[in-house]
Amino acid sequence: MGNSQSIFGHACFLAAVSNDASRVAFRGSLQLPPVYNLDIPVVPAAITYPKSTDEVADIVRCAVQHDYKVQARSGGHSYANHGLGGVDGAIVVDMQHFQHFSMHPFTHIATIGSGTLLGDLTTRLYDSGGRAVAHGTCPQVGTGGHLTIGGLGPKSREWGMALDHVEEATVVLANSSIVQASKDHNDDLFFAIKGAAASFGVVTEFKLHTYPAPTEAYQYSFTWSIGDAQAKAAVFKQWQKLISTETLTRKFSSELLVSEAGIIVSGTYFGSREEFESFKFENHFPGSTSSVGLTLSNWLGMVGSQAEELIERVVGGIPANFYSKSLPFTNETIIPDHGVDALFEYIDQTKKGTLAWFIIFDLEGGATNDVPTNATAYAHRNAFMWMQSYAISLLGPVSRETKDFLQGMNDIILGSEPPTARFGAYPGYVDPYMENAQLAYWGSNLPRLETIKAEVDPKDIFHNPQSVRVGPKHR
């Protein structure tokens, strides 16, 4: 790793940003931003704030010359602070100045800078002819990470993941060259960018295909605030049975939130209230204590969810001590009834070490599953449901007891599945304590990614603790 105090390194990075001292912060400077997850402290050697792709290339050139690792930072919401390098002593390329936006008047292809936040992307697309793309609902998340790791959201069942909208990307490589990646140019790199970009370069610009924004939707919410473990398990069984129905319309999005307060099932039906009511959703469940519904006619009001709003309130853009885990489920790994019973019994009886915990089960599938597994680096194309568990410590570092609580839930579910069942993890929900993380994140696509890594970044310049490595046969 490079010497962060090298006067020559400092001069090089300063020159890369046009000798503007306000656009580079070195270790020890008060300008360094706080880490997102306070449980994993990271101190980079420097954070740079380029304004052009050429400046990004110059920063990468300096990093290579002075033996530093490099990571890009868009929204800065990595669970393991990979946007600050993930380990001490990296060079961070902060993309906050990359805010350019344009919309082609005929093709409706949007060109965006990779520093754009999701909330801004939604507004800019909508203001440019009522256009939209599928993406997550947390407005502070940056597109640079979201569009290159996955990007699941309420419209994904109809339109696919956020990264499925990417038609072309401008990328700075480890040799400081600037290339365009698409299905027709640098297709191997394009494959890698769509699911694992942080291991391969810095994306400065995206071209996205867009859709006409929906003009009508109905948001619903059902709450169960009381009941024992058996009653809660019954709600989950009914919900899982419903969402795993092969004929379920793609207009339907849904999530089930478990917390200390009970269970909330909520989501959006992209159609009229009458269509939703004909679906008779509430008839699938035991009686809820309350229900709420809202008809929406504006896309800007549709891109939200109760679960994401909870995450935003508890974590959002504010640094906190937290830990999170994830599991994908396919039609072959639906949680059996005895596994559901064991899970809710465990939740009911286990000490958690914090009151600030929650579990989100998200319905996905649909158009996301239409894309072949080997078409992009993102590997979980057969998942129809995701589980994400969170625990936040309000009093300092997350305790071993709390981490064991989250791991225990995963262990119970995995123990209820057949021995041949294979699970992974969502690469956007970074779990720094997971073994064999690269295989969990990228599955069967990992060997191809390792080969591409050897070709475009053999010295592992774009590195974080769980990034793609050069495969053994290429070393």
Q: 28: how many CB neighbours lie within 10 A of its CB?
A: 10
Q: Which of 62, 94, 126 is the last residue of a domain?
A: 94
Least confident of 3-17, 45-59, 271-285: 3-17
Q: Which residue has 């009381």 as its token pair?
A: 226
Residue 222 lies in a domain: yes
Domain that holds residue 79: 7-94
Q: Pick the residue with more confidence: 1 or 340?
A: 340
CA 115, CA 111: separation in Å to the nearest integer? Answer: 12
Confidence class of residue 86 from pLDDT cuts 50, 70 and 90? confident
Q: Is residue 446 part of a domain?
A: no
Report pLDDT for 462.
97
Does position 308 have pLDDT exceeding 60, yes or no?
no
Q: Do 409 and 389 form a contact (C-beta atoms < 8 A)?
A: yes
Q: Is residue 243 situated within a structural domain?
A: yes
What CATH number is attached to the domain comprising 25? 3.30.43.10
Strand partners, 205: 113, 170
Rounded mean pLDDT of the chain? 91
The CATH number assigned to the domain holding 382 equals 3.40.462.20
Distance CA 152, CA 378 (A): 12
Task: Say if residue 306's pLDDT is above 80.
Answer: no
Q: From edge to edge, which strands make up the β-sheet containing 178-182?
A: 101-103, 109-113, 202-209, 166-172, 178-182
Q: Residue type for 267, please?
A: G
How far apart, in whole angstroms, are the C-alpha atoms of residue 355 and residue 333?
30
401-426 as b/e: b if 16+ CB within 10 A: ebbebbbebbebbeebbeeeeebbbb
Per-residue pLDDT tens digits for 265-294: 999 999 999 999 888 887 887 776 767 788
The mean pLDDT value for 116-130 works out to 96
pLDDT in tens, 453-471: 999 999 999 999 999 999 7
Task: Return left, alpha or beta for 311; rule: phi > 0 is left, psi -120 to 50 is alpha, else beta.
Answer: alpha
pTM as predicted: 0.94
Nearest-angstrom CA–CA distance, 381 and 375: 10
Predicted local distance difference test score (pLDDT) of residue 310: 55
For 455, list phi and psi in degrees, rounded to 5. Answer: -80, -40
CA distance linking residue 272 with residue 216, whole number of Å: 6
- Going by pLDDT thresholds of 50, 70 and 90, the confidence category of residue 248 is very high
In whole angstroms, what is the distance from residue 205 CA to residue 207 CA?
Answer: 7
Asked if residue 5 has pLDDT above 50, the reply is no
Q: Is residue 382 part of a domain?
A: yes
Q: Enter the tokens of residue 171.
A: 């990328």
For residue 105, being part of any structural domain is answered with no
Q: Looking at 94, 110, 126, which one is the last position of a domain?
A: 94
User: How confident is the model at residue 475, as a pLDDT?
Assistant: 62
**Residue 35 pLDDT greater than 60, yes or no:** yes
Give CA–CA dist 364/157, Å, rounded. Answer: 6
**pLDDT at residue 162 in the model:** 98
For the purposes of burial, counting CB atoms within 10 Å of the CB of 109, is it exposed (0-12), middle (13-18) or buried (19 or more)?
A: middle
What per-residue confidence (pLDDT) applies to 314?
52
pLDDT above 80: residue 29: no
Query: Which residues touch 188 (CB under 8 Å, ≥6 apart)?
Result: 448, 452, 455
Using alpha carbons, select from 16, 7, 83, 5 the residue that is nearest to residue 45: 5
Report whether 373 contacts 381 (CB < 8 A).
yes
Domain boundary among 94, 128, 160: 94
In a domain, 51, yes or no: yes
Res 390 pLDDT > 80 = yes
Where is pLDDT greater, at 80 or 306? 80
417 and 272: one domain?
A: yes
Integer Cα distance of 183 and 191 in angstroms:
8
Count of structural domains within the chain: 2
- 177 part of a folded domain: no
Residue 425 lies in a domain: yes
- The pLDDT value recorded for residue 394 is 86
Q: Give helix 400-415 / helix 337-349 axis angle, nearest 10°.
A: 160
Q: What is the pLDDT of residues 395-448, one digit of tens each?
A: 899 999 999 999 999 999 999 998 888 899 999 999 999 989 999 999 999 999
Residues 87 and 226 in one domain: no
